[in-house]
Amino acid sequence: MHILPIASGKGGVGKSVIAANLSLAIAEAGKRVVLADLDLGGSNIHTILGLRSVERGLGTFLSGRKLKFDDILIQTGYDGLKFIPGDAEIPEIADLKSYQMKRLIRNLTSLDTDYLILDLGAGTHRNALDFFLISGRGIIVTNPTLTAILNAYLFLKNSVFRLMGSAFPKQSPASRYILSLKKEGRLLQRIYIPQLLSKIKEEDRDSYDAFTVLEKKFRPTLILNMIDDPDDAEKIEKLRRSTREYLNVELEHLGIIYRDDLQDIALSSRLPIIKYKPDSIISQAIYRIADKILQKEGETEDTLEITTPEESYQVAEMEAETDFQVRMQNLEELLHFGTLTTGDLVETIRSQHFELQHLKKENQLLKTKLVRAASDGFKV
């Protein structure tokens, strides 16, 4: 079975549209495909496929009621394509307990299918990383905006740290070293991975070797979605170079997809775009990417089989203030190539500030609500 998790650092980049249409394109090529909606908080795959809302999905399954995994596997009406809905019974995949994660991953990887495609929620929380790292062949979707590219970079950086977490045995010198960096807070975020690895190679060869086994299998790919003009395609080169240089990861490019208003028309017609207008540029781009994926079939498929480490080495939590600083530091890594323009920077700083303001407001609102709820409670 080929497993293709589809992730992004930032939401709204087109993951679900791509997951649904790629699944369909691969099914049209005669493969058996199962598509799972793992964005439990923001499930929308059923809408993109034009299915009516579903009664039960992963949430129902995980809530412990007596359902077999097969009971939530539904026919889509498209030959060869089955679908596992998310459903809203569990608010966020981020909240899944580790036994639920294990149960879910075990059931998913035991399915009898040629392709398993996973649509993940945005962000770098641990569960998204764990789903992404089920396979060494995960797909990162990004847009050409600097914020989206930066978030894609952060996602990959966190993936590499997550792999270290899995490779280094507890109590090993390597593991202790990382934890000591972690205690010093910011240090871990600033870490230059190649340098860190060469230090670990010197001082803890076994841990280093265990990591390189995983690292070799980690061959994520990239889709650049919603570009407006050909120049946008170049923006991704910074990401690929930084990923190679700073993370020691070769990011293969699967293809670009133009922004096209047809997508929204297809959505309101309740048809996937490749069914709505198979000849459109956007549909052809999706078929091209599907072909590339199918051509890779001969290559050995690698499941990573990562284990859950005691402590997360995650460097970039998607959280307000710290996040802002973390991102600015990572921006430096992208900046070293000198290809960022002043315009890029202004755009990033502006959008980061905007996001930060927004989060602060939300936070304030929550606090007010809490205080009100608490004082109401006291009155009663």
Ligand X SMILES: Nc1ncnc2c1ncn2[C@@H]1O[C@H](COP(=O)(O)OP(=O)(O)O)[C@@H](O)[C@H]1O
What does the block give as tokens for 145?
A: 């905006």
| Ranges within 15-44 binding Mg ion (CB under 5 A) | 15-16, 39
d(CA 233, CA 373): 50
Q: Which of 270, 273, 157, 164 is CA-nearest to residue 226?
A: 273
**Interface stretch with ligand X, choices 9-17, 49-57, 160-168, 363-371 (CB under 6 A):** 9-17
One character per residue 148-187, x = contact with ligand X (rule: CB under 6 A)? ----------------------------------------
d(CA 115, CA 100): 22
**Is 144 an interacting residue with respect to ligand X (CB under 6 A)?**
no
**Interface stretch with ligand X, choices 14-22, 29-37, 88-96, 196-204 (CB under 6 A):** 14-22
Q: Closer to ligand X at the Cβ: 128 or 178?
A: 128
Smallest separation, CB 110 to ligand X (Å) = 26
d(CA 90, CA 99): 15
Q: Closer to ligand X at the Cβ: 12 or 91?
A: 12
What does the block give as tokens for 332?
A: 């430096």
Binding partner of 13, given ligand X, Mg ion, none, CB within 5-8 angstroms per partner class? ligand X
| Ranges within 104-123 binding ligand X (CB under 6 A) | 122
Residue 325, CA atoms < 13 Å, CB-side half-sphere: 9
Rounded to the nearest 5 degrees, what angle is found at the Cα of 119, between the Cα atoms of 25 and 307? Answer: 125
Binding partner of 151, given ligand X, Mg ion, none, CB within 5-8 angstroms per partner class? none
Binding partner of 256, given Mg ion, ligand X, none, CB within 5-8 angstroms per partner class? none
| Ranges within 255-284 binding ligand X (CB under 6 A) | 257, 259-260, 263-264, 267, 282
Smallest separation, CB 19 to Mg ion (Å) = 8
Q: Closer to Mg ion at the Cβ: 119 or 323?
A: 119
What does the block give as tokens for 354?
A: 């905007």
90, 62 Cβ separation under 8 angstroms:
yes
Smallest separation, CB 143 to Mg ion (Å) = 13
Residue partners of 220: CB distance under 8 A and separation at least 6: 136, 137, 138, 139, 140, 156, 159, 249, 251, 252
Smallest separation, CB 10 to ligand X (Å) = 8
CB atoms within 10 A of CB 120: 28
60, 88 Cβ separation under 8 angstroms:
no
What does the block give as tokens for 287?
A: 């078929």
Burial class (CB in 10 A: 0-12, 13-18, 19+), 324: middle
**Is 263 an interacting residue with respect to Mg ion (CB under 5 A)?**
no
Q: Closer to Mg ion at the Cβ: 13 or 200?
A: 13
**Is 44 an interacting residue with respect to ligand X (CB under 6 A)?**
yes
Give the pairing type, strands 2-7 and 139-142. Answer: parallel
**Is 222 an interacting residue with respect to ligand X (CB under 6 A)?**
no
Smallest separation, CB 6 to Mg ion (Å) = 9
- Quote the crossing angle between the two packed helices 320-335 and 235-247, to the nearest 10°: 90
Q: Closer to ligand X at the Cβ: 197 or 239?
A: 239
Q: How many helices (H) and strands (E) does the chain have?
A: 16, 8
**Is 225 an interacting residue with respect to ligand X (CB under 6 A)?**
yes
325, 365 Cβ separation under 8 angstroms:
no
- DSSP H helical segments within 296-336, as ranges? 320-335
**Is 193 an interacting residue with respect to ligand X (CB under 6 A)?**
no
Amino acid at 294: L
**Is 226 an interacting residue with respect to ligand X (CB under 6 A)?**
yes
Q: Closer to Mg ion at the Cβ: 16 or 159?
A: 16
Instruction: Note the residues at the interface with Mg ion (CB under 5 A).
Output: 15-16, 39
Instruction: Note the residues at the interface with ligand X (CB under 6 A).
Output: 8, 11-17, 44, 122, 225-226, 257, 259-260, 263-264, 267, 282
